[in-house]
Structure 1
Amino acid sequence: MGFVVEMFSNAVLGELVSRSMSSLFAKCEKETAAAAQEDLQLLRRLLMRSATIVEEAERRRVPSRAMLLQLKALRGETFRGYYVLDVVRCRAALGGGGRRRDGEDDGDDVARRAFALSRFNPAKRVRSRSGAPEATESPPVLGGPSPEVELHRLVRSLEAMIGDMKEFVVFLTSYPPLYRQPYSAHMFVDKCMFGRHMEKETVMEFLLKKEPPGAEHLGVLPIVGPAHIGKSTLVEHVSDDERVRNHFSLILFYTGNDLEDVTVSSFRDKCLIKHHTDNASAERLLIVIEILDDVDDATWNGLYSSQRSIAQGSKMIITSRSERIERFGTAQALRMKCLSVEAYWYLFKMAAFGGDDPAQHPKMASLALEMASLMQGSFIFASVGAALLSANFNTQSWSRILTRLRQYTQKNASLIREYPGDINAKECPRYTWNVIKEKPDKYFMLYDIYHRGSGVEVPDISFLDLQGGHAQPPAGKYDILLTKSRIPPYFNYVCACEIRDM
């Protein structure tokens, strides 16, 4: 009898413990959800304040390097804030933790992958394309912080950072404006160089720095980075700055694959004059050399020696994909890398959604989040991808485009044994296909991508024409227009294309 009573007592006790634990967990979940909502509301308010400070600072000429570093930190934290806000919105709108439909991701899947890509995630990042920010291949490690915990950490970090910007804001109002304020973030991203404010100021500091009296060497700044990372765009924006044009009487540009066929006597004849003034008091020259690869020492030494007789204070910038040109610099080389995951997402969503608020399209926003991660920081992919999404602005098309993008990454990675983000690697063709059709039957083989100046004729057929079925391409290889840049130097990106049966 005592044995039966003991068993009954244990069963009752177990049930009570189970109910107590369930009640405790339910209470914790409610408290966590309530705290997350409070953090979310606070994050929205903080982002409005931080974005206002960043936009105002980018409209002004800030001479202090310490302030520029402070601005860089706030800008990065603001991008992370928008990224986390979008991830949490997608997770909430898609019902995180609920039952998923067959073939669809639930909100937790969206948040998990998004945080795995963000620098918040403590998981090791194991593989990236050259020049790109590190990117993870796997979900966060087990036991890693939840999105709610990361949200709370971000809010506290951004709140503290804004609190430390009081003196910054006071000093900021004393600096002169650079240009008129854009009327929307979309127009600002669409028409201005994005995410290179610190790099531009680094180049400006080099160019405008006064050389000590009697200095004999010609100052040289190497700028290196992968293809299509924005080296030419950066230099173009710098050379268009009124401070640079007032400082140098002549600005020369040389563009080519290398300097092998250039002699000392023919160098200037092969340069393009970007700016010239008859200011007799300032005969300083700025020479910009844009090449693809390395230069042998003999060629460089001959060219450099021939330019040493020009006016004191003259400067030279040399850009290349090869890091070996760093040895020619008299200043520390500027290495250009891809944008952070969070900054790239901000750029991509503005281009894809235009004036629409992604919060009004949570499913499409979640699809775009993953697309951005697969694009590996490529500005060309962002431009082409955003144009495709804008032309097919519905959930079904975006879901299909994401599926095709996953397939593209997998197929090309298996063929060239590396991520296909660096399009020109090994001069291998890239397999693409129609991302809109339900069952595509043709490959679009894309070969080497290169740019043409804004005044040069471009192909009649565009990549978007092929995707939309609006063009009848000729047989064999032919050139197509991949995308057009909307900011100086307004390059048109062209590549050879060939259609093959699947």
Structure 2
Amino acid sequence: MEAFVGILVDTLNSMIQKESGLLCGVATDMEKLARLLSTIKAVLEDAEQKQFTDKAIQLWFQELNGVAYEIDDVLDDYAAEASRVKYKNSGCFSLMCYPIAGNLVFRHRIGTRMKEILEKFNAIADERIKLGLIDQKRGSNHFQVDSTGTRETGSLLKEPDLVLGRDEAKDEIVKILVNQVRDNQNVSVLPIVGVGGLGKTTLAQLVLNDERIAKHFEPKLWVWVSEDFNVKRIIKALINSIRETPVEELELDPLQRKLQELLRGKRYLVVLDDVWNENLEEWEKLKSVLECGSRGSSIIMTTRMEKVATIMGTLKTYYLSSLSENQCWSLFRQRAFGRQEAEEYPNLVVIGKEIVKKCGGVPLAAKALGGFLRFKRGENEWNSVKCSEIWNLPQDTTHILPALRLSYLNLPIEFRGCFAYCAAFPKGYEIEIEEVIHLWMANGLISSNETMEVEDVGVAVLTELYYRSLFQAVKEDEFGNALTFKMHDLVHDLARSVTEAKHGGTESNRTMILGMPNHQLTVAFPITITGIDQCSSFLSNCGSLRALMVKSMKEDEVPRNFLNAISKLKHLRHLDLSRSLTVELPNSICDLWNLQILNLNYSLILWSLPKGMRFLRNLRHLCLHGCWSLTYMPSGIGKLTCLRTLGMVVPSGKKGFRLSELRDLNMLRGGLTIMHLERIEDKKDAEEACLIKKQSLRGLNLHWDSERNIQRYNDEEVLEALKPCPNLQLLRVLGFNGSSFPSWISTVTEVAVKESAAEYIVGAWESTAAAAAMSPSSLKQLELKNMPNLKGMLGREVQGTPGVFSQLQSLSFGDCPTLTLPLPRMPSLKKLSISSCPNMAWASISNLASLNSLKIKNIKGLSCFPEEMLQNLSLLESLTIREIWDLLALPRSLASLKALKELTIKHSPELESLPEEGLRGLASLQELHLVDCYNLVSLSMGTKALKSLTHLSIQGSYATALPEEVKYFPALQKLELDDFPNLTSLPDWFGDHLTSLQHLELVKCPELETLPSSIQMMTTLQSLTITWCNLLGPRCERGGEEWHKIKHIPDVTITGPEFELCTIL
């Protein structure tokens, strides 16, 4: 709310300073309103903290929200009127020539509404005094911490019996502290990060009380830090943990010296629990005092904030995972039933397991809900909890949200509205970064500042929420940037509780998501052809709507009357019609003067844009990704100088859009696709697009129609003219008909070329200057697919030129049948993939000494590779050979791959054996995958050298027995045998030799009937999976003939045609 109010104040002051004629008579009221808003803004921090326990303040907040939205509507009306006057009729009108009568009516309406709103705000301002709200910024900058001590933690576990699922995490951390950092000279800091209530403190207690830690560290100290990162207090707490008598009140310096005296020369372990500090200087003050122990001294710090972990940590952050549903049920059951047997209440058990799903793997929630139901045995009471949201349960007894609320109150106040807004999405919804930022923009929750554009502010907010464990990243793009986030279910409950307190369960009808199921804070309709009519009439009552998202349109075309109804929403800033079925938008959409975001992504049958697009002067994002049917764009797009996103452009002839219109759109960011480049008659049009000036553009897709009817081929000239800024990271070229590419292509980080007629990537230098421009190169990733004329990467004129591909790290060829020239020198190349290139110069691969991954696929007519191909590849770690149908043998030079860790051979049915000499040198090999090599009945005795092999997978073999060589794999941990139609038994030596095996999978072995008795001796075996083994499966079920051999295995899973999935625990 503070961010929103702040934006309103800025907007009011901006309008007052402009002294527009439209504001005559209301400027004084606007000044009063700006002062009132500033006064109210000052007490919002205090109100934020008190709203959760004071109903009167909740009501005050709700009143404030409603009136703030009213003034926002008035300001929007002004902006809309100003835009209409200024830009109507192609900008011919101005405020000075606006009809006087219309001007007077508008001013009267604005003045009346302003006086009404001012009166309401006066009442709200007076009420703040009665409620005792104060300006906290005049005092401490931090929110009030827990003064009752209820959150304070210590080193002892409260309930050891209620700790489940953390043994593995404890062991991992203990091993790091005892083994990995024991010789570190500087103090090591290991951060444990996770959402509130996940068990970070419990994990730290488990580690500190472990016997291995006790033998390795002395002393072991614990400090509960909390929000108040006071160095003096922390040092005193550490001293008091060591001394029997409390330290006297001293100044900081003697305290520092005293602590160093007590720790000097000792290998200590300190736990700093519940840390929130983001001040590097304060941390350095404390760390400098602790740099006095002996080698291996360590600190464990727990925090909800990744940012804190980044500031303080020296070791890799340990991200604490959620508990499984079974583990949560065990915690819940112990709390809910105590010593009573849960089986006495079978109906409650069923309900309880549904309740546990609310916990989302958070132990605090499982224990709290279980405790809440401890003495309740009525099904109605349990069903009530099952059907209630956690934010709606009594917080004085469950304590779940108060624990999580600290994360909210610790947020910068201007970020809190953004967090609370995310409650508008359903639980489990993947929130797209671009989508949520656009919604924040539309609802006035973020704005630009002196150094950052509003979109960058949105990214900063999201990053902060992620670093504070309030968001979880789900998907990333090709550059490793997050694309989507999720909120943990309990964090979503927290957001709902905040929204309920502030808004009373409504969002003032400012956001509407149509067609999204289970939606509670916004209006939702199932969109059908009949439902649209319902929505059209409903929209007429939503005059304040800022954002409209239409989802799940399915197979119905969007009716014109619905689109026309949308065009009357004059306050609308965000319109999402993505993935909708509409051929064209009505021109009335262009009446949405305030529209900032128009999302038409993946509107697959959209043919054209309305002619009035030039009037949408506030438009910042025109999202057209995936609109592959778009064939016409109107002229005037170049007038939309606020544009930051323009997903796609289509040159549309003399009367339509021309590439030169991109000239002044230099603030474009993200990706841009230019379709139908074959329509460009003159390269001058492409030059005037000035792509080189668009410094924020990161991706560029250039498409020529492969089925072009135009006989003009000026592809090379056009591509040369479309030279982008060197900041470009990704270039995709489709349908290019030139013989080679311009020199600037090497300035791009990643390039993908498909369906091109080019013979070379670089055929000849355009000039001496162009040759110089190729060095140094920025090109790191190159993908070449479906290029029937490609002969080589470099033409003969430029063969041997240094630096052309000097920085290239990844290279992929696909469907290049004429590729015959040797590969050039590429000193940085790490990954090489070759598919459907039958005439490849295989021997030239040996020149790629830096290669660590090589994939070769689908080469017809090849029976063997040249011996020299694998020579000199001493860094190769992964080799995949697949679909080489005629392959008879692998080269003996395989033995030279000393660093090889993974070898995969797939779909080579003629291969009968592996080269004995070729395997002897593979001492580093860890994984061997043999798939559909049916005639490969033995592995050769060379496999005896594979002492590091941990994973063997054989899928598809006519062998009647497991290859004898498998017994020589002492480190083998996972064995997969799949599609062995003739396998009748496993050898007797199976359990005697494979003593490290942990996972065994038997799939499609129809003749396999029994398991060897020696399997009973395999104490390390953790899981056995039997799938579609018709004879063996039934015998291995509990009580079957083979059950006694496998009953010691913790996880046995059997599936097949005769029975459902059966997991035996």
Is this a same-fold pair by TM over 0.5? no
Larger radius of gyration: 2
Question: Relative contact order (alpha carbons < 8 A, sep ≥ 6): 1 or 2 greater?
Answer: 1
The answer to which structure has the higher helix fraction is: 1
